[in-house]
Amino acid sequence: MCAMIRFARLELSVLALLVAAVSLAAQTDVTGEWEASYAMPLGPQELKIYLTQEGPRISGHTTSEYGESQVRGTIDGENIAFTFEATDGGKAVVIRVTARVEGARMRGTAKVGDRVDGAFTAERSD
């Protein structure tokens, strides 16, 4: 009877390790270059985003015709949220992106300051 209990515990431990390994292997990794755009009242804004992921933390920078900006954010499964700054009418404004990562694509919304929400899309370019 004791041997059966020990064997059952061993099976549960092995199963728990396998589940943990599958979870880690399935973690979405957004590290790399992304071609992105987000909607603004005067038309779409295009930019390139360079991301680095360390666990749930996202960092990097953007480049566009208006210059560069740092990116900071988090990822939880397929849900990503990050911020960067852009220029709107000559003023710096914070862009808050919330999106879902679907393989080599991201789709979601970008909130420009406190005023405008628009569609956000990105595709891997590396």
Q: Which domains does the chain have, with CATH numbers?
A: 29-124 (2.40.128.120)
Each residue's pLDDT, cut to its tens digit, for the chain (126 residues) gives: 556 566 556 565 544 444 443 444 457 999 999 999 999 878 899 999 999 999 999 999 999 988 899 999 999 999 999 999 988 778 889 999 999 999 999 999 999 988 889 999 999 998
CA torsion 70→117→124→53, rounded to 10°? 40
Please tell me the predicted confidence (pLDDT) of residue 97.
98
Q: What is the pTM of this model?
A: 0.77
Phi, psi of 77, deg, nearest 5: 65, -120
Q: Confirm if 60 and 50 have CB atoms less than 8 A apart.
A: yes
